[in-house]
Homo-oligomer: A and B are copies of this chain.
């Protein structure tokens, strides 16, 4: 069983009307519903929970963190960011969705700015699989259409990814590395571009297939304790110090 925490920045009692219109069960509810059945244990968390929904205990008990945020990146305190980064390094998977490219946690894990260009006219996007053998692309049709999406365009300021799984094409003329993977420590990271909060993208079957694949892929087979920097006083070869 994979323990998934779906984290969003919304106050459940105060969701903006356009978001509620697109996601009547909340973005977290919609995302969580992708991972049904006995294979997954889903926890919904958000910025307004205790420890802003990113407590040490919850992260310790999380196999894969699914992270959606847009306008409240600044409200996440640095110690919560440090906990996420540390837990990913220990093996927790992390899936950063859409505008989470600018979350403190994504920037802390990649070491880059996450900058990009954008446009919000609701143009359609096509999603192409660049690496069909990647587990996240399993069962995904080539070039399927997302009817309305916010455009995110290159240059996307990220380190060279381990794998460019998906590329996005926009009607307006731009392209984007829409699905990319990274490794940090023992943790697997997937960034996925689709999912503007006012379009019901996460209800789309192809997108749901991708996200379920991503959670399965990011779930750790190995979770380490903190490495730290141990002093190995005795040399394996049994040599003495020369000082």
Contact = CB atoms under 8 A, between A and B. Distances in A.
Contact of A243 (B122, B126, B186): B122
Interface in A106-144: 108-113, 115-124, 126, 128-133, 135, 138, 142-143
A170 B232 CA distance: 13
Interface in A221-240: 221-222, 224, 227-233, 235-237, 239-240
Interface string A165-191: 001111111110100001111110000
A155 B143 CA distance: 10
Given A126-B236, A227-B157, A133 B85 contact: no
Contact of A133 (B109, B170, B186): B186
Task: Report, as a range, how many residues of chain A touch the other chain.
Answer: 35 or more
Contact of A229 (B102, B154, B170): B102
A130 B158 CA distance: 10
A181 to B, nearest CB: 10
A123 B173 contact: no
B230 A117 contact: yes
A91 interface: yes
A130 B116 CA distance: 10
A115 B229 contact: yes
A89 interface: yes
27 contacts: A85-B111, A89-B112, A109-B111, A110-B111, A111-B111, A111-B184, A117-B231, A117-B232, A121-B235, A121-B241, A122-B242, A123-B242, A130-B156, A130-B177, A132-B222, A135-B221, A143-B236, A155-B227, A160-B162, A162-B162, A167-B167, A169-B169, A170-B235, A171-B235, A173-B239, A174-B232, A174-B235
